[in-house]
Amino acid sequence: MKAKLTILGSGTSSGVPMIGCTCPVCTSSDPRDKRLRASALAEYGGLSILVDCGPDFRQQALAAGIRHLDAILLTHNHMDHVGGLDDTRALNLCERHPVNIYCQKYVEDSLRHSYAYAFAEPKYQGAPEWHMHIIDGDSPFRVHSNAGDEVLSWEKGFGYRHIENHSAPDAGVEVIPIQGWHHKVKKLSVLGYRFGDIAYLTDMNLLEESEFAKLQGLKAITLNCVKFDSHHAHFSLHEVLDFFDRVGAAESYITHISHLLPRHAMFEKILPAHVHPAYDGLVIE
């Protein structure tokens, strides 16, 4: 099954340019040097699957013309990857479905703090309506079309009522989670995702040995690099290049890029032939 991955954001947590910075990267006029926070849209088996929903989600959705999502997969709970979840309210309104969110248990626990109002009972009128699906790094899982989901009906003075939809769910598509870690001491579990022959990995600086078996035969892969040298939670450029070498995907893309790496045009030149900096709007298929 053919996958298509659109990079909606290729930037680190502050984005590029960084507020207040006047460095050559932050002041570049190359649109590829305008990097929103890391996020990607996978179109796979007829489904639209967003990976991460950072603070730029609204801007990214408008730019990419997103009007429909079957699911959102979260890699981890950092603000630059979940900070835009409130804006999924617009999808509740135009799709009249809850939004399906797939994440690890600790990520859900964290959302229950940071988005307490979305889990409250009774809920503030118009707060987001989510269906949470708990996943882990070991087990492939299936994502389904949201057309089979319950329907939301708006009632003035109350908010949404949920109406059961008894149509049988479709077969869905299989997604393979890749277990990685922020911090080499395994401080924070981060999931990457494989959709057919494309894998989207970010925000790691350690992978379980066992995970490399899941990364065979890839047409394309992404991985994070914030700056040349090591960062407490991200791969250094050398580590990323070694990783790409080992995985041996046909094409490899660096994402989660900060202003401490060169401007796109220059960065591309110093990388090996099959390694590229990602950029916002890049389509991989």
Q: Which of 1, 2, 67, 216 binds a second copy (CB under 8 A)?
A: 67
Q: Which of 66, 143, 201, 240 binds a second copy (CB under 8 A)?
A: 66
* Shortest Å, Cβ 79 to a second copy: 4
Q: Shortest CA distance to 225 belongs to which of 244, 248, 208?
A: 244
* Shortest Å, Cβ 32 to a second copy: 17
* Shortest Å, Cβ 84 to a second copy: 7
What character string, x for contact with a second copy (CB under 8 A) and - otherwise, covers 20-49?
A: xx----------------------------
- Give the nearer residue to a second copy in terms of CB position, either 54 or 196: 54
Q: Shortest CA distance to 256 belongs to which of 134, 76, 48?
A: 76
Residues between 87 and 106 that touch a second copy (CB under 8 A): 87, 89-91, 93-95
Total residues in contact with a second copy, by rule CB under 8 A: 38
- Give the nearer residue to a second copy in terms of CB position, either 87 or 268: 87
- Give the nearer residue to a second copy in terms of CB position, either 20 or 217: 20
Regarding 80 and contact with a second copy (CB under 8 A), the answer is yes
What character string, x for contact with a second copy (CB under 8 A) and - otherwise, covers 217-236?
A: ---------------x----
Query: Identity (one letter) of the amino acid at 169?
Result: P
- Give the nearer residue to a second copy in terms of CB position, either 9 or 277: 9
Residues between 111 and 170 that touch a second copy (CB under 8 A): 113-117, 125-126, 157
- Give the nearer residue to a second copy in terms of CB position, either 21 or 283: 21
- Give the nearer residue to a second copy in terms of CB position, either 23 or 134: 23
- Window of 83-91, 203-211, 214-222, 267-275 that interacts with a second copy by CB under 8 A: 83-91
Task: Tell me, letter by letter, the H, E, C secondary structure of the chain.
Answer: CCEEEEEEECECCCCECCCCCCCCCCCCCCHHHCECECEEEEEECCEEEEECCCCCHHHHHHHHCCCCCCEEECCCCCHHHHCCHHHHHHHHHHHCCCEEEEECHHHHHHHHHHCHHHHCCCCCCCCCCEEEEECCCCCCEEECCHHHCCEEEEECCCEEEEECCCCCCCCCEEEEEEEEEECCCCCEEEEEEEECCEEECCCCCEECHHHHHHHCCCCEEEEECCCCCCCCCCCCHHHHHHHHHHHCCCEEEEECECCCCCCHHHHHHHCCCCEEECCCCCEEC
Interacting residues toward a second copy by CB under 8 A = 13-15, 17-21, 55-56, 58-59, 61-62, 66-68, 79-80, 83-84, 86-87, 89-91, 93-95, 113-117, 125-126, 157, 232
